[in-house]
Structure 1
Amino acid sequence: MYAVWTDRLHEGMILLYAASILLYFLDFLHRNRKANKAAFRFLSVVWALQTVIFILYMAHTRRFPVLTLSEGLYFYAWALLTLSLALNRLLRVDFTVFFTNVIGFFIMTVHAFAPEKVSQGAGRMVSELLLMHITMTLIAYVLFSLSFVFSVLYLLQYKWLKEKKWSHRIWRLNDLAKLERLSKWMNAIAVPVLLLGLILGLWWAYLRLPAIHWLDPKIVGSFVVLLVYSFLLYGGERRHMFGKTLAYWNMAAFLIILINFFLITGLSDFHLYY
C-alpha cells in the first residue's frame, strides 16, 4: 500500500513539475503574469508532495533518507526547490525559480531511474556522523546550484544590456551587481558547509573503514570541488575575478560538481552511492 501511494504521488508530482516549468517558460518568453502565478502554485503543490513523500519515506525506513543515490538525488531536488521558493519570496529576483527548477526537474528525472538499493554493508555502518556528512555535502551542492543559476542570470542580463535589447526580461532581472553578489553569497555559505561535511566524512571513514584508500577518486574529486570553489571565493573577494569572468568560472565549477557527483562516484571503492 505504501509503495502504491508513493508511486501515485510521485507521478502526479512529475506532471505538475513539467507543467510548472512550461508555464514559467511561457512567462519568460512573453511576459505573462497569469502563467507565472499558475506556475508558482503548481510548484508549491510539487513542494508539498515532495515533502509528504519525504516524510512518509522517512517514517517507512526509520532513518534520514540520504544513503542511496536515489535518496540523495531526491533530497537534493527537495532542498533545491525549498530554497528557490524561499529566495523567490525574500529576494524577488525574477526567473530564479524557473532556471533553478529546470535543474530540479532534471534531477527528479534522474532520480526516477537511480538505483534504490542501499550499498552492501551500508545498513550496519549507518551513524549520525555519516548522515551529517552526506546531508551537509548535498546542502552545499544545492547552494552551489543556486550560485550557478545567478551566474546564468548575470550573463543573460549582461548580454541583453550590451545588445541594448530593452525587452520585459531586462527590467525583471536585478542589476548585474546584485546578481554577482547573490552568486558570491551562495558560494560563501556553501564552501564552509562543504568543508565541514568533508571533514565529517573523512573522520567517519577513519573510524569505520581502516583499510580505506585515501586517494580514492571520490575523496580526491570532492576536495577538487572544494579547492576550485575556494579559489573562486578568494578571487571574487580580492577582485582578481569579477563580472563576466567570474560568472563563466562559476559555471565551469558547477560542471566539475556534476562530473564528481555522477561520474567519479562510480569509480569509488567505498562510497555508498553506486
Structure 2
Amino acid sequence: MTELTMARLYELMVILYALGIVFYFIDYLYKYVKARRIAFWLVCIVWIFQTIFIVLFVIETQRFPILSLFEGIYFYAWLLTTLSIGLHCIARVDMPVFFINILGFVFVTIHLFAPAEKVQPMVDSLVSEMLVIHVSIAMISYAAFSLSFVFSVLYLILYRILKQKKFTSIWSRLPSLQQTSSWMSNSILVGVPLLLISLILGLEWALMTLDGLSVFDVKIVGSFIITVIYLIILLLHRSGKLVGTTYAWVHVYAYLLTVINFFLGNKLSNFHLW
C-alpha cells in the first residue's frame, strides 16, 4: 500500500473520528440514543483503522511502533480510543467517554500534522523485548493519567454547577462528585505502579545496553518526578489531607506536567527517542 493511500486513509480516519465526537455531543445535548450508537460505531471504525495501521507497520518494519516520539503519539492515541470504547461498553459513562475521545482526537491530529521521524538503523538494532515492554507499560500508565485528568475536569465542572445551583437536565448525565473522585483515585492507583515498573525496566535495559548512561538524563529525572508527584497525591488523598477541588486541580496540573515531560523530555533527552 502506497504512502499516498495510507495518508488518504489516515485523513479519512480523522474525519470519522471528528464525526463520532459530533454525534456524541448531539447525544449529550438531546439524549438522542441513535446518535450515541452512531458515535460509538464511528469510534470503533476509527479504532479498527488505527489497529490496521499498527499491524501493517509491524509487518513492514518487524517491530512495534514505539521507537520515536512520532510513533509514541500514535500508540498513545490508539490507547485513548481503546479506553473510550472500554468505558462506553463497561462503565456506561457518557461524558467521560466524550472527553476521552476529544483527547484522543487531539493526539490523532497531532500525529497527522507532526513531521515523521526516521528511526536510525543503529537505534533500531538496540530493540529488545524489555524495551518494548518498558515503553508499552509507560504509555498505558499515561493513558491511566489521562483518565484521571478527564474525571478531575468533570469534578471541577460539576462542583461549579452545584455551587452556583445551576444544575439542569443537561447536566443530569454527569457522574456524581463521589464517582468522579473515585475514578480519579482508581486511575492513578493503576498508573503509578505501572509507570514505576516501566522506569525500572527502562533503567535496567539502558544500563545493560547503552554506554555512558547518565541517570540525570532529562527524561529519566522528569519521569521519576512525575511518579513521585502522583504517589504523593495518592497518599495525601488516602490520608484525607487532599480532597475536593484541590484534589481535582492537582490532578490537572500533574497531567499537564506529564504531557510536558512526554514531549519536552524526548526533545531534551540524550538517548530517549520515544
**TM class by shorter-chain length?**
over 0.9
Equivalent position of 1:83 in the other structure: 83
Given that 2:77 and 2:107 are in contact with CA atoms closer than 8 Å, whether structure 1 keeps it comes out as yes
Cα-to-partner distance string for 1:213-265 (whole Å, 9 max, x where unaligned): 21111111111110111111111111111121110000000000111011122
What SS does structure 2 have at the residue aligned with 1:173?
coil
Deviation, structure 1 residue 33: 3.2
For 2:84 and 2:53, the matched residues in 1 are separated by: 19
Equivalent position of 2:173 in the other structure: 172
Given that 2:159 and 2:177 are in contact with CA atoms closer than 8 Å, whether structure 1 keeps it comes out as yes
Check if 1:115 corresponds to 2:116. yes
The farther-off stretch of 35-44 and 82-91 is: 35-44
**Measured at CA, do residues 136 and 215 of structure 1 come closer, stay the same or move farther in structure 2, by a change above 3 Å?**
same
Deviation, structure 1 residue 22: 2.2
Equivalent position of 2:38 in the other structure: 38
User: Where do 5+ consecutive residues of structure 2 fail to align?
Assistant: none
Equivalent position of 2:127 in the other structure: 126
Deviation, structure 1 residue 30: 4.2
How many residues were matched structurally? 273
For 2:19 and 2:93, the matched residues in 1 are separated by: 21
Identity of aligned residues (%): 43
For 1:157 and 1:37, the matched residues in 2 are separated by: 25
RMSD, aligned CA: 1.6
Equivalent position of 2:68 in the other structure: 68
Cα-to-partner distance string for 1:128-170 (whole Å, 9 max, x where unaligned): 1111111111110011001100111111111121222232233
Deviation, structure 1 residue 38: 2.0
Q: Structure 1: which amino acid aligns with 2:82? A: T
**Measured at CA, do residues 33 and 159 of structure 1 come closer, stay the same or move farther in structure 2, by a change above 3 Å?**
farther
For 1:186 and 1:114, the matched residues in 2 are separated by: 32
Normalising by structure 1, what TM-score?
Answer: 0.94
Given that 2:28 and 2:94 are in contact with CA atoms closer than 8 Å, whether structure 1 keeps it comes out as no
Q: Structure 2: which amino acid aligns with 1:51? A: T
Pairing 1:192-211 to 2, within 5 Å after superposition: 192-211=193-212
For 1:114 and 1:229, the matched residues in 2 are separated by: 32
Q: Structure 2: which amino acid aligns with 1:194? A: L
Normalising by structure 2, what TM-score?
Answer: 0.94
Deviation, structure 1 residue 25: 2.8
Q: Structure 2: which amino acid aligns with 1:191? A: V
Runs of 4+ in 1 over 3 A off after TM superposition: 26-34
The farther-off stretch of 141-150 and 208-217 is: 208-217
Pairing 1:1-274 to 2, within 5 Å after superposition: 1-112=1-112, 113-119=114-120, 121-273=122-274
Q: Structure 1: which amino acid aligns with 2:231? A: S
What SS does structure 1 have at the residue aligned with 2:94?
coil
Deviation, structure 1 residue 19: 1.3
Given that 2:88 and 2:94 are in contact with CA atoms closer than 8 Å, whether structure 1 keeps it comes out as yes
Deviation, structure 1 residue 186: 0.7
